[in-house]
């Protein structure tokens, strides 16, 4: 398809990517072997067969189980390096990636192990693949405010290695307001913040993310479309939404790609970007997402360029750093 070739050749940035969600089944097995971890699955095929989700929680259960093979610095390095090599093939030149430290701290993996492994790969990606990066520490919203504050305190030694903070995991019943004080502190410390909101949770959670937590980006944001006033506010503020089409399909946020509201979002003036979220679990990386959209929706070349450009202007690169990509 001509449009696929066009967007493939276009420099791209990924703003919504959970590193632990790029853990491919083959690497789960390789790391289990290397680390002597016993898996409840007999084969890669058996593990892959478990990747059938009816909602966010069913995915998260498998996602947290999968990452149990990540124990050592080298594991976090291998995970991150594999992701960077993969998206390099897709024409991705800048990434802003999440990691979930609380999920590893709970298993006794020190923050230093996690961050040093991840950063070593990110710096190698910058040097050898020309991929610039930002690293985002994401709090788990199903855990308490106290746990988030404790994690923030532990992260203090690593502040120079972190660029911002995020909020992910089970959305329903865990509104942004639960973490208002945590993110106020992050902002006070000079960090950017970006919050998952409106994936499964209601439009009200997006309002909270905007007006109570003063977020710099919204991750997902699909359910904003249920509130015309919210659509208008997001459009006026040119708030970046990191939309994840294959994720939306796999977690049944949309029932079919043909029904994905991406074009409606663009037509409403929303600043939308395309991202892969958890590519090892949702069926593909950056170009797989674009390919699925192009096959399902009547997107124009102008709209595709707009999507790619939005990600650069919505990134945390400085205007000078963005310029060569626009
Ligand atoms: N939503 C919420 N939490 C997550 C996701 C997601 O799409 N991926 C990894 N953690
Ligand atoms: Zn996500």
CB atoms within 10 A of CB 69: 21
Neighbours of 58 (CB within 10 A): 15
Ramachandran sector of residue 36 (left: φ over 0; alpha: ψ -120 to 50; beta: rest): left
91 phi and psi angles, rounded to 5 deg: 80, 25
pLDDT at position 293: 98
Residue 168 forms part of a structural domain: yes
Would you state the pLDDT for residue 326? 87
For residue 299, tell me if it sits in a domain: yes
Q: Cβ contacts of residue 206 below 8 Å, gap of 6+?
A: 197, 198, 218, 221, 223, 224, 227, 230, 234
Task: Return the pLDDT at 289.
Answer: 98
Q: pLDDT digit string (tens) for 49-103?
A: 999 999 999 999 999 999 999 999 999 999 999 999 999 999 999 999 999 999 9
- The confidence band for 257, taking pLDDT boundaries of 50, 70 and 90, is very high
Ligand 1 centroid from CA 252, angstroms: 13
Residue range of the domain that includes 168: 2-315
Judge whether residue 180 has pLDDT over 90: yes
Neighbouring C-beta atoms of residue 40, cutoff 10 Å: 9
Nearest residue by C-alpha to atom 7 in ligand 1: 277
- Joined together, the tokens standing for residue 15 give 């703003």
| Structural domain total, the chain | 1
What is the distance, to the nearest Å, from the Cα of residue 77 to the centroid of all Cα atoms in its chain? Answer: 18
- 202 contacts 179 by C-beta, under 8 angstroms: no
Centre of ligand 2 to C-alpha 17, Å, is 6
Mean pLDDT value across residues 225-233: 98
Count of C-beta atoms within a 10 Å radius of residue 25: 20
* pLDDT tens digits along 181-203: 999 999 999 999 999 999 999 99
Confirm whether 326 is domain-assigned.
no
**CA of 20, closest atom in ligand 1:** 9
Show binding-site residues.
16, 18, 196, 277-278
Residue 199 CB less than 6 A away from ligand 1: yes
Mean pLDDT to the nearest integer, 164-184: 98
User: Is there an atom of ligand 1 within 6 Å of 222 CB?
Assistant: no
199 is catalytic: yes
Q: Of the residues 199, 226, 258, 321, which is catalytic?
A: 199
- Give pLDDT tens digits for 264-283: 999 999 999 999 999 999 99
Percentage of residues in the chain having pLDDT higher than 70? 100
How many CA atoms lie less than 13 Å away from 258 in the CB half-sphere?
Answer: 0
The residue whose CB lies within 8 Å of the most ligand 1 atoms, and thus the one to mutate among 168, 198, 276, 283, is 168
What pLDDT digit, counting tens, does each position of 301-324 carry? Answer: 999 999 999 999 999 999 999 999
Question: What is the spatial order of strands in the sheet that 192-197 belongs to?
Answer: 12-18, 92-99, 132-140, 164-168, 192-197, 217-220, 240-243, 271-274
Ligand 2 centroid from CA 160, angstroms: 24
CA-to-CA dists, residue 18 to 33, 212, 259, 295, angstroms: 23, 25, 25, 25
Phi-psi bin for 312: left (phi > 0), alpha (psi -120 to 50), beta?
A: alpha
Mean pLDDT, the chain, as a whole number?
98
Its sign, for the CA torsion 170, 172, 173, 176, is positive
CATH label of the domain that carries residue 127: 3.20.20.140
Kindly report, residue by residue over 108-152, the tens digit of the pLDDT.
Answer: 999 999 999 999 999 999 999 999 999 999 999 999 999 999 999
Q: Is the CB of 56 under 6 A from ligand 1?
A: yes
Residue 323 falls within a domain, yes or no?
no
pLDDT category, 36, cuts 50, 70, 90? very high
* Domain annotation covers residue 320: no
């Amino acid at each position: 398809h001509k449009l696929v070739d066009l967007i493939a050749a276009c420099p791209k940035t990924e703003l919504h990517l959970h590193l632990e969600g790029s853990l491919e089944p083959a690497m789960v097995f390789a790391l289990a072997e290397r680390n002597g971890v016993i898996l409840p699955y007999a084969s890669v095929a058996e593990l892959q067969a478990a990747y059938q989700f009816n909602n966010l929680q069913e995915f998260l259960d498998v996602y947290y189980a999968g990452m149990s093979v990540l124990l050592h610095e080298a594991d976090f390095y291998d995970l991150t390096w594999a992701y960077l090599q993969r998206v390099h093939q897709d024409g991705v030149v800048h990434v802003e990636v999440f990691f979930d430290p609380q999920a590893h701290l709970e298993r006794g993996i020190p923050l230093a192990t996690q961050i040093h492994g991840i950063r070593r790969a990110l710096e190698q990606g910058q040097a050898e693949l020309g991929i610039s990066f930002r690293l985002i520490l994401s709090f788990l919203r199903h855990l308490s405010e106290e746990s988030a504050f404790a994690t923030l305190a532990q992260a203090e030694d690593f502040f120079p290695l972190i660029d911002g903070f995020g909020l992910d995991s089970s959305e329903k019943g865990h509104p942004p307001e639960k973490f208002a004080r945590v993110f106020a502190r992050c902002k006070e410390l000079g960090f950017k913040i970006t919050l998952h909101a409106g994936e499964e949770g209601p439009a009200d959670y997006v309002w909270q993310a905007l007006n109570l937590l003063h977020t710099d980006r919204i991750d997902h944001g699909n359910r904003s479309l249920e509130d015309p006033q919210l659509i208008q506010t997001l459009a006026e503020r040119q708030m970046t939404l990191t939309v994840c089409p294959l994720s939306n399909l796999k977690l049944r946020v949309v029932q079919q790609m043909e029904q994905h509201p991406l074009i409606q979002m663009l037509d409403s003036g929303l600043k939308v970007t395309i991202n892969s979220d958890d590519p090892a679990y949702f069926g593909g990386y950056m170009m797989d997402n674009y390919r699925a959209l192009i096959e399902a929706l009547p997107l124009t070349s102008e709209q595709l360029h707009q999507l790619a450009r939005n990600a650069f202007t919505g990134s945390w690169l400085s205007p000078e750093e963005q310029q060569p990509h626009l």
